[in-house]
Structures are given as structure tokens and as C-alpha cells.
Chains A and B, each alone.
Chain A
Amino acid sequence: MEKWANNKAWFLVLPVVIIVAFSAIIPLMTVINYSVQDIWGPGQSVFVGTEWFEEMLGDKRLHDALWRQFLFSGLVLLIEMPLGVLIALAMPKRGWGVSACLVTIAIPLLIPWNVIGTIWIIFTRPDIGLFGAGINNLLGIAFDHTARPLDAWITLMLMEIWHWTPLVILLAYAGLRAIPEAFYQAAKIDGASAWAKFQYIQLPKMRGVLTIALLLRFMDSFLIYAEPFVLTGGGPGNSTTFLSIYLVKIALGQFDLGPGAAFSLIYFVIVLLFSFMFYQALQRVGKGEKG
């Protein structure tokens, strides 16, 4: 790593720091204040120390929501990443098909998130939904995402994959298009198979964009709120209650500001750790490509 002449250029980010101070740091400090107090209303609060943290860290429903969240993010990534790469590989390389594919694929990304939830509620309804009624009547399988946890999970996963795989496709496609033709010519001369081309040319060249895709997809799926809130509301039972849904239930539903604030801080620290790890991974990928 080369030595920087000085770090004074960093002061140019000061305006951003001031804006972030108002939009994020002051609210965050407020949350820290709330997390150590029992609050009934403005000016009516009692200092309780670490009581809310003890309560939240020992809360079984929070543990369940956390594991559910990791399971959801893990499954989503396991399906979305290979699927996105596969579709990107299958997309046309030139001609009018490129624009047609790109526009069609990008459509799910343009729909507001709560509208996506509503679309999927109707789409999967067992009585009138194209998907729900189709499965129930044509295949004879009882499918009802409002009553059966597994069906709710399948619906949520399908929705998430339909909604966000396009992002992976677009990123992977951009990575593929950036590979110079000379690599493919060399592969052709060597008589490389399609798999060898993928393994030694396409995959290494896509590493940068795929790491970004992985980072974005993990964070988005880990913080998911609007779609499951609209689609299942966390049910049936608690089977699709993810961290954000449980947090809103505590902080706004029950108006338990103290426990809600403690929960927020735990959530925040988990997200911070993953962001940092992904940031480090991204940096390493960037350096690897330079070298």
C-alpha cells in the first residue's frame, strides 16, 4: 500500500458528515438514550440501566427471529446468485434482444416494495390467484400461504427471488460484457469447453460485481420489511416474523420504546459487523483485480 502524502482531502467530506450527523447520528444517540430508560411520555422517564438489554438478549422470540432472518437471507442468496449468473450467461450478446431482455428483466426492480407484496397476495390467493388457484386446482396440492407456514415461506422466497434476482442478473451481465473478446479467442484456440471458459474466464472476471451483488442482496434481505409485512404480516403464527417485523411490533405496536431501542441497537451492531466484513471483502477483490 502506497503512503498518502496527507489526509487533508478527507476534510472535503465534512458537509456529508454534518448531514449524516443530523439524519443518522442524532437519531442513533436518541435510540441509545431510550435504550437505558423506561419512557411513558415526553419528560416522563426512569433510568433502568441495562435492564432492556438483558430482557432483549434473553428473549426467545428475538432469537427465533434472528435465526429465521439468517435462514431467509442464506436461502435467498443460495438461489439468487447462481440463478442470476445462469440467466446472465444465457442472455443474448448483441442485437435488439439485449435491450428487450434488459428492460423486461428490470421491471420487478421498478415496482414499489409494498405494491410487490400486494401483487403477490393476489397472485398466490388459493381462491382467485393465478398461482394459488392453479396449484390448488390443477395440481391438486393444498396451497395456502395464510394458513401454512411452509407455504408462506415458499411464497415469500418466490417473491423475493422474483423481485431481486434481476439485480444479480444486471450486475452479472455487466461483468460479462466487460470481458475483452481476446480471452474468448484464446479459449477457442485452446479448445476450451464451455465449463472451462466459465471457470477460468467468466467467473474470475465477474468476481468484483458478484461480490457487490452478494453484499447488496445480503443486506437487503437481512433488513427486509415491507414485502413480508404486506404479504404475511409475520404469520401464520410467528413463522415469517423477521427481525424488522418483530422490532416494529415491539417499538410501535406495543409502544415499548426502551426494549425497542435496545433491540434496534443489537440489530444495528449485527448489521454493522456484516457491512464491515463485506466492505473488507470488496476491498480485497478490488486490490486483487488491480494486481
Chain B
Amino acid sequence: MTLTLEWMEWTVPTAIFCSTIILMVIAMTIWQTISPSLERRGFLPIPTTPGDRLFIGILGSAYLFFAWIGLTHFALWILLVVVVCWIIVVMVWG
């Protein structure tokens, strides 16, 4: 039996998308293993750990994507810039 991934119908953009998220999660795991962080309170209404903030950042990005697609006709690369800024803001000050 051979194991193929053809049925998954990979494309380059989705491969980049999935690997980015997986890499972020792995990097977060390594970082938190080496130097565990405390839960703290930022501008978000709940106290969060860096893992929580990464999750909120990614989930928020998904909603930004839907709003961008559903409500506007701007180019997607602008959204990419917005999303990266959003995740950085949440990670640092959230």
C-alpha cells in the first residue's frame, strides 16, 4: 500500500497557509517550554497567556478575512498586512 496525499488536493497557497499556522504553534510550544510565561492582562477583556493571544489573533484574522471578502473589494495583500499587524498587536499588547 502506498500513501499518497493526492486526495488532499494541495495547492501552493493553502500549503503556505497551513504550514505557517503549524509553524507558529510549534514555535509557541518550544518558546513556552523553554521560558513559560505568566497569564497577564492587556487591552483584551480577559487575562491571557501568549498561547491564548495567538489563538485570539488567528481566530480574529479569520473573521477579518470573512469581513474583507464579504464587505469589501480591496486586494488580498492589503488584508495580509492588516492581519499581520493585528496578530502582532494582540501578541504584544493583548
Contacts and interface: CB of A to CB of B under 8 A. Distances in A.
B66 A32 contact: no
- Output the residue of A33, A266, A272 with the most chain B CB within 10 A: A33
Interface string A37-55: 1010011010100100110
A273 interface: yes
Contacts of A11: 33
A43 B10 CA distance: 10
B36 A3 contact: yes
Interface string B40-75: 000000110000000110010011011001100000
Nearest to B7: A42
A261 to B, nearest CB: 10
Contacts of B14: 29, 32-33, 36
Given A269-B59, A269-B63, A57 B70 contact: yes
A33 B11 contact: yes
Contact of B33 (A6, A32, A47, A50): A6
Interface string B1-27: 000001111110110011000000000
Contacts of B18: 29, 32
**Size bin of chain A's contact surface:** 20 to 34
Contacts of A269: 59, 62-63, 66
- Output the residue of B29, B32, B55, B69 with the most chain A CB within 10 A: B69
A37 B8 contact: no
A4 interface: yes
Given A3-B36, A32-B18, A36-B14, A43 B6 contact: yes
B69 A53 contact: yes
A26 interface: yes
Nearest to A30: B8
A8 B36 CA distance: 10
B47 A53 contact: no
Contact of B76 (A1, A33, A42, A50): A50
Nearest to A3: B38
B9 A37 contact: yes
A254 interface: no
Contacts of B32: 7
Contacts of A222: none
A288 B47 CA distance: 14
A53 to B, nearest CB: 5
B59 A276 contact: yes
Contacts of B55: 276
B63 A1 contact: no
A273 B69 contact: no
Contacts of B63: 269, 273
B55 to A, nearest CB: 7
A58 interface: yes
A72 interface: no
B70 A54 contact: yes
Contact of A273 (B6, B10, B46, B59): B59
Contact of B7 (A30, A36, A53): A30
Nearest to B47: A1
A42 B33 contact: no
Please provide the 7 A-B residue pairs with the shortest distance between their CB atoms, ordered closest to farther. Answer: A57-B70, A1-B39, A269-B62, A33-B9, A30-B8, A7-B36, A53-B69
5 contacts: A32-B17, A33-B8, A53-B66, A53-B69, A266-B66
